Structure formats: structure tokens, C-alpha cells
Structure 1
Amino acid sequence: MADKALLCGVNNYRSISDLRGCLNDVANVKRLLTREFGFAETDVRTLEERKVTKKEVLKGWRWLLKDAGPGDRLVFHFSGHGSYTADEDGDEDDGRDELLCLYDMDWSKPDSYLLDDDIREELTGKLPEGAELTVLLDCCHSGTATRMLAPGGSVRAAGVPDEDAPFVDLTASLNRLHAAGRKKTRSSVRVEDLKDDFDRVVAPDVPADEAEETVLVRFVEPPADVRERAAARGGVVRSSLGRSAAGARDDRAGMNHVLLAGCRDTQTSADAYISDDFHGAFSYHLCETARRSGPAVTRPALMTAVRRAILDGGFSQSPQLEPEGAAGQLFGGRGVTDDNGATASVSPRREELQIELLQEILAQLVHLRGGTGPAGEAVEGRGADRHLVAVHGICRHDSGYSNPWWEALSPHLPAGLRRALSTLGGGRREVLWSDLVTSRSIGAATFAEVSEGNRGDLEYARLKSEIEAVLEDRVERQVMDAAPSGDAGEAPTAARSAGAMALDRQTERALFGIPGLDCVDDFVKYLIDDGVRAEVQGRFREVVVPLLESAGRVDVIAHSWGTVVAYEGLRALDGERTLEGEVGTFFTVGAALSIGPVKRRLRPGDGAKPRCVRTWVNLDAKGDPVGGPLTGRPYAVDHEFLNLHPTDCREILGLVAPACAHSSYFKRGNTAVNRDVFARFLTR
């Protein structure tokens, strides 16, 4: 008996239009299951691309159901195209049999797709009693969309007939295009007002797998004869894919499993460019929201948050949970009985967190009783062979820069550990590297100063401009989110006009206060110049390697742009076998690792957790334009604490000064960071 999952994704179809984000969806859901919900790696199987055939999927379902028993969690996830064919057996009120398009999709070959009947007969209809099955479908089976006009705009640059060209969600594409162009308002963008942008998203100059503004639809239109037969048989469109046999007739309360679908029956599921790569909007926001919420979140609460995130992202789809209001955690779990005799669902991951919490409580109780543990080990001695390393960000830093960090943290540590780490240069160390970049000059600072013949200057100026644009865009988005607005089509009121003027003034002040904006050129030197990078990394090694060679425990707190220095420095140690110590916790705080142009220049850039690190914790405060979420983007972060309250920062019209938010982590009054995160993980 075990928790098991089968995850399927197809980007490159044999004969129908391609998609772009399905393989990323599979990887994202797998990370969610294994890192947050306690599924073993060996019990999560994936089928990708040409392996997604009917034979392999049916075999996967048999494996999924084999030996399943009460309390076992089973998951089936599909990311790819959906469609429909005419209902031939009369069990569908709308005259349609919905289907999943497999790799070799061919309308003349029933073995190249999975019907809703197949799912009922081979999966849900054979589900052992008591097993908990969750079906995730990121595809669609109807809805309105616009055909991509030019075959040259399809994923394959040529060879795709007009009738097989991808469908585009025009409204979502234009909404996101204008949001990226900083023209977005609180009211939805009206398609009729945006004809000038039509060709950009429907007939792009680049292939669709490179067209970031274009939102593709995960739907393939059936041939004309199939559409005619379905129309003759049916009425109101109502998908029954993934539901029980009775579900086709809307008796969904009798379902023996839970279905999470990417959209309503008459909507489309989006395949779009999100957070520096292509994803299914539903799969992406489901995973991100589940990570932020934790394993204990209930399905209804989670889906409400997912719908909100998708709407905020500029998409029009509304993911569905069936049976509606299905209680319990996302993937179910083994039942335990509470004090009132009621059954609660606890996942293995939550059990692990509960054990960790009990251990922390025990440690604090032992400390209060005099510092001796049950086996006679002094808690005071937990500071032995311990070191805490700080890594600063850009702009000038001098020795002692981490003293304010320590003053905010130290009151929350046990006395023994506090004494062990109290001395700068002893248990507490600093990596100093700003002098290596502030003393260098590599050339042009703006595109206007670049000569065409100097490729190094051009690369430098381009990267600097890209980073500055990301920071400014993040601040402007915060302004947009805080902007007062009325209903769509409502004329501006005097109050809203005054509010907009105030926001304009606040925006100007906020942009000038972006942390490190004046020093971005310093860090560009690190990213561009291999010599500078090697010297900075040398400083990091000088501090960290001797500590790890001593077989002790090192904890690293890296802030801002220093998170890049620390991450690359720790990854560079992956191949060194002589290091006997470990990095207990790697804290990335207000991490520049979240910035797209920086991510693309990381070495290495796969986002893996450094091998010497036991736990990676990422923190981000509300209003901090440098930091952001890292989990799965592509980083293997263990814990994230996002949208933290920026202690001692004033809010004006809902805005927080970016520089204040970026430094708020190290304020003495910020117990949410220093006590609840830093101290918690340092005392593990």
C-alpha cells in the first residue's frame, strides 16, 4: 500500500498543433507531490511526449490502482489538448463525448485518444473502496477562441495546415500584452479597442513556442463532420470528463473521487508564459498556491485562492472543483481521530511538520529547565562547532555590516547558541565582496553610450537595462495593485482622479527609492566579467570552505544580490568530497535570484539545491521589489515565507517604500522573521 501518482504531459504532438507548458506542468506537480505532500519519488510516474499513448496510460492506471487500499492517495494528472467527439451511445446530454488528446491523436483512430467513458470504465470505475483518487485535468473541451492565422506562427515553423494551427485566447493574450506593456488598468482590456495588437498575438513574427504574449488554448477543434454529428445530438455543453457515470447526467454528488479541472465546461484552459517559462495557467497557479498555503489547506479554500490568482494573472478561466465543496486536503490523506471523535486528514508531510514542531517545543522546555536534555546532553553545547555566515548585497559594505542583523536575531536564540555565535570573526563571519566591484569600471552604463563595435559594452548595457526594467516594473505593478478604481466603464470621479495624482507622486518617489538601483552596474560586472566573478567567489570560499572542512555546522544568511554570490558559491562545492561539515540552513532573503535576467546567467542555472545544504529557506517581504518566490522557478527551495509584513515601514495608499521593505527583515521588531524563521531553523 502506498500513495501513488501518474502524471502525463504532451507538448509536441505527432499531427495536431503543439503546446509549450505541459512538460513544465508535469515537473511542477511532481515537485509539489514529493516535496510538500510526502509522495515518494519512486511512486510518482511520469509519461511525456510520445510515451503518452493509450496503451501506456491504461498500463499506468493499472499500476496506480494495484494494491490500493483505504486511505491511500492516488493522483492522475493530464496536461495537454482536450477535445470532443460525437456521443455514439446516448449517455451524454450534450451529444458529446469529451476526450483527452494523446501524443498520436488521430480522429480516425479511437486508440489515439481517451474518452470520458474510458476514464470511468478503466480508472474511476475500478477504484478500490476507501482509496482517495484526485484527478487533475489541465485541458479544455469547448469554449471560444481565435485560430492562429499564419502557419508560420505555429510551434512547428512549417508543415501545419491552416485547420490544425493553434487556437489563441485573444482576450487573455491582449490583457497580458498590455499588462506587460504597463498599460493595464483595473478594468478589463476590451478587444474591440485593441485591433492594432491583434496581429502581434494571433500572427506573431516568431514561432508560437517563442511568442511570450500569445496565450494558446489547450483545445483541438474536431473535424466538420464530428462537429455536425455532435450538434445534431446535443443541447447545452456540459463536460463529463473525469466524472462518474452518473456525472454525465449532473448527479455529481455520487462521485467516488475528486476532480480538479482547469476551467468551466464552456471555457478554455490557457497555455501561457508565466514566471520566465511556459506553463498551464491552472497547473502553475495550483502548485504555487498549494505551496504557499501548505499541505493542511482544504480544497475549497485552495481553489478559491487559485481562481483569484488566475484572474489576477489576466486569464478568464475559472477552475472547477467537483464534487463542489469537496472537503479535505488537496490530495486527501490518512484519517486520524480528534478529541471529539471526528475524522481529520493528515498527510505524511504534515505529520513531519508536527514532529518538528514538537521537537522545537521540547528543546525550548529543556532550555527553560536548566539546559539539560533527557540523555544528559547540555543544550548549551548546541553552539559547539557552529558558525553563522552573512553575505551582503550590492553597494558598498564595510566590516561589521551584519551587526544589526545579529542584534535583531540574537535575543531569540538559546543562551548557549547565542554565546557561540556572538563574536564577529569567531562564531559569526562575514563575506565582504563589494570592494571587488565598486572599484571596477567596465564601460558603458546605458545603450546611448555604447559603440556598436564594442560587444562587451553592449552586453553590459543590455543586461543592466534588463535588470533595471524588472525592478521598475515590479514597483509599478505594486502601484497598479494599489490604484483606486471603479467598475468597468464608470467615468472617473474627482476622488479617484485625486487618488491617481497622489499615486503618480508616490510612484515617482518609490522608483527613486528602489534598493540598489544606483549600484546595479556593480552587480552587472559580476555577471559579465569572469575575472570579477572568480574574485568574488574566492572571497566566499575563503570564509566558508575552512568552516565546512572542520566538520561543523554552518548556517548562511544571504541578502539581496548576495543570494546569487552565496548560491553560486555553494553550488561550486558540489563536487568537493573533502568537506565534512554541512550548511544546516541556507537563508535567501529578499533574493535577487528571483530576477529573470539574473537567473539566466546563473552558473549553474538548473536551480538545484547545493549538495552541502540540508535546508533551503527563502523569505520575501511585501513591497520588496528585489525578492520574490523561488520554489520551482526553477529552485529546489524547501520552505518559503512570502509577503511578510515589512516591519517599521509606512504604507501610503497601500504602498510600501521599496528600500524600507528590502531592509525590513533585519529590524529588531521583526519577530516574524528573526524569531519565527531565523531562530526556528537555527535551533533545529
Structure 2
Amino acid sequence: MAKYALCVGINKFENLPTNAWLNGCVNDAKDFAALLTGHYGFAKRNVAVLLDSKATKAAVVGKLQVMLKRAKPGDHLVFTFSSHGTQVLDASGDEPDSADEAFVTFDMRQKGDQWDAATLILDDELHDLLGTLPDGVLLDVVLDTCPSGTGLRALDLLPTRRPRFVPPPTPLGLELTESADPRAFRDLVRSDVQAKPVLFAACRSDQTAADADFAGRYSGAFSHYLLQAVQDDPLASRRVLLKRVSADLRDGKFTQRAQLEAPVAAKGTAWGTAF
């Protein structure tokens, strides 16, 4: 059985002002890579880590394609992504009243009143990529990003916390996406995918994920608690991990609630194990 991983963390963005940059995404990527090599038997040469300027759309998609293409039944793959999320109007044109949720890479740029979809990783694009995975491959996906900014609350704006969501670049762009019907990241694992990924996401589609200070070190709140839970009890089922992370988020006064999208069998087995 081979093991491959891609861990992405982006704090700085080529075309965003510094006040929109994040603090904990790079740490998330490094921490997940360390977990995989230190506790799950991943060889360092098989764990790609893309940080900040290295995490362009082309680089992330390219590394992901290579990892997916080399996978064979019985292999274990991991994809973690920590960055901003955003929304753009449906790029395919077949659903004009819908908003595509998107993952922000380093080189995202503006096009008119919206972000340029060609410089983002759209949820549909990621779904199609995951759909190339052969059956019998275990793929664990961890997304610490915001699919929407509609759930922002005062707690999300404390000095030591920053939401991982960047709105469209203009008032008109924001108005258009806010009035559109958003889809959730859980669509990534909808039933037409041959090999079902196991998806842990930082929040519901109507919430925001926090970038937060933990004892002087920034991380994604969700990533921080998930990593802690996995290391404290590696044999805990994914369902138990979800409960633990959700409880920790509540205790930490974070408004987000972690999500687990997976086949029923996967929820009853430990993170990183086949089902």
C-alpha cells in the first residue's frame, strides 16, 4: 500500500491587501504533514507541502492530479487545504442563479466585479478531480476554509481571530453572489464520485472558519482541534472525532461547527483507516 499526501497552506496572497492575509494556514499545512510522517507512516518524499507563493492554482491542481493519477486500489491519499474561501457566480453557465464555492489560491485575481474563476479552484473542479480516483483508494480530505461569509458574527472579528473568507471584490459582485443560491462543499462527495472521499470540513455552509491564536501560535481553529483529537486518540472513530472537535470549538467560543461527509462505514472507523 502506497501513501501520498498534499498539504496546502496559504497566509499571503498576491492580489489581496495585507489586512486580508491570514496567519495560521501555513502552520496547518506543516502540522498535518508532520502528523502524517510522524504517526501514519507517510514517507517525507511522498508528502508535498505547498505554502504561500508556491500554492498557485496551477501548482495545487498539478500536484493533486499527479497524486490522484498514481493512486492504485489499496493506497491512502490525504489532501488538506487551509486558506480563504470565496464565492463566484456559477462558472458553467447552466445555473445562472447559483454561486460556486471556491478555494482561494495564492494567485487569485479580479475580473470585473467578481474574482476570476480561472484563478480559483471551484468546487465543481475539485469534484471532477476527485471523480478520477479509482475505486478502492482511501482519500481523506480536510478543508479549513469558509464556503460563505454569511455567518459572520462579532466573535469572528475579535483581534486574535480572522475569518477564512474573502468576499467578492466589489459591492456589485457581493450583491450578485449574496442573492445567488450557494452550494455546499459536501457536493464534493456526492454519489456520482466512484471512490468516495472522506471529507472533514471546518464549518457549515452558513458559517465561517476561524484563523485563531492559540497560546501565541496561529492555526485554523478546526485544524488545531482536529490535530489535537487525532493525536490524543488515534483509534477514535471519525464520528467520535467530530464530536470531540465540535465540543472543543464550542468550549473555545468559536461559532463554527465541524462537518463530516462520508459513507456510513467510514464514520465508524478511525481517521486515516480504510472502511
* TM-score between the two structures when normalised by the length of structure 2: 0.87
Q: Which residue of 2 aligns with 1:135?
A: 141
Q: Distance in 2 between matches of 1:289 and 1:56?
A: 30
Instruction: Tell me if structure 2 keeps the 8 A contact 1:119–1:241.
Output: no
Change (3 A) 1:274 1:73: same
Amino acid at match of 1:277: R
- Structure 2 Cα separation of the partners of residues 23 and 47 of structure 1: 9
Counterpart contact for 1:120–1:242, Cα < 8 Å: yes
Aligned residue in 2 for 1:214: 160
> What is the CA deviation profile of residues 141-179 of structure 1, one whole-angstrom value per residue up to 9, with x for unaligned ones?
213466xxxxxxxxxxxxxxxxxxxxxx52256xxxxxx
What residue is the counterpart of 2:240 in the other structure? 301
Amino acid at match of 2:213: Y
> 53, 58, 68: which is aligned to 2:56?
53
Separation (CA, whole Å) in 2 of partners of 1:133 and 1:228: 36
Query: Per the alignment, in what secondary structure is the counterpart of residue 300 of structure 1?
Result: helix
User: Greater relative contact order: 1 or 2 (C-alpha under 8 angstroms, separation 6 or more)?
Assistant: 2
| Residue 280 of structure 1, CA deviation | 0.3
Secondary structure at 2:167 match in 1: coil
Distance 1:172 1:314 in 2: 10
Q: Find the aligned partners of 1:273 and 1:35 in 2 and give their Cα distance.
A: 24
The alpha-carbon distance between structure 1 residues 328 and 252, as it changes in their structure 2 partners (threshold 3 A), is: farther
Q: Tell me which residue corresponds to 2:121.
A: 114
Report whether the alignment pairs 1:20 with 2:23: yes
Which residue identity does 1:315 align to in structure 2? F
- SS state at 1:126 partner: coil
* 8 Å CA contact 1:252, 1:322 repeated in 2: no
Match of 1:239 in 2: 184
Q: Deviations over 1:60-85 (max 9, x none)?
A: 01221133112211111110100010
CA distance in 2, matches of 1:255, 1:85: 27
Q: 1:170 aligns with which of 154, 157, 168?
A: 154
Q: What letter matches 2:226 in structure 1?
A: L
Displacement, 1:242? Answer: 6.2
The alpha carbon displacement at 1:311 in A equals 1.2
Q: How many Å separate the matches in 1 of 2:72 and 2:166?
A: 37
Task: Give the drift of 1:214.
Answer: 2.6
Q: Which residue of 2 aligns with 1:101?
A: 104
1:8 matches 2:24: no
Q: 2:134–2:194: 8 Å Cα contact kept in structure 1?
A: no
Query: 1:13/1:97 Cα in 2 relative to 1: closer, same or farther (>3 Å)?
Result: same
For residues 36 and 255 of structure 1, the distance between their equivalents in structure 2, rounded to whole angstroms, comes to 25
Q: Which residue of 2 aligns with 1:320?
A: 259
Asked whether the 8 Å contact 1:145–1:170 carries over to 2, the reply is no
8 Å contact 1:34–1:41 — kept in the other structure? yes
Report the secondary structure of 1:286's partner residue. helix
Distance 1:275 1:41 in 2: 28
Match of 1:351 in 2: none
CA shift, 1:324, in A, is 6.7
Please report the TM-score for the alignment, with normalisation by the length of structure 1. 0.37
**What does 1:469-508 align with in structure 2 at a 5 Å threshold?**
none
Aligned to 1:38, the other structure's residue is in SS state coil
Question: Paired residue for 1:69, among 65, 68, 72?
Answer: 72
Structure-2 separation of matches of 1:118 and 1:97: 10
Q: Which runs of 5+ in 2 are unaligned?
A: none
What does 1:256-271 align with in structure 2 at a 5 Å threshold? Answer: 256-271=196-211
Higher helix share: 1
Q: CA deviation at 1:33?
A: 1.0
- Determine if contact 1:119/1:242 at 8 Å carries over to the other structure: no
CA distance in 2, matches of 1:92, 1:37: 42
Which one of the candidate residues 24, 34, 37 is aligned to 1:34? 37
Retained in 2: the 8 A contact 1:94–1:233? yes
Give 1:241 deviation, angstroms.
6.0
Q: Give the alignment of 1:459-474 within 5 angstroms.
A: none
Could you tell me the percent identity over the aligned residues?
35
Give ranges in structure 1 of 5+ residues lacking alignment. Answer: 147-168, 174-200, 202-212, 334-344, 346-684
Q: 1:233 to 1:276 in 2, by over 3 A?
A: closer
Kindly state the Cα deviation for residue 298 of structure 1 after the two structures are TM-superposed.
1.1
The whole-number CA distance in structure 2 between the counterparts of 1:231 and 1:93 is: 13
The structure with the largest strand share of the pair is: 2
CA RMSD of aligned residues (A): 2.4
Matches within 5 A, 1:133-212: 133-144=139-150, 169-172=153-156, 201=158
Alpha-carbon displacement from aligned partner over 1:440-474 (angstroms, at most 9, x marks no partner): xxxxxxxxxxxxxxxxxxxxxxxxxxxxxxxxxxx
Counterpart secondary structure, 2:146: coil
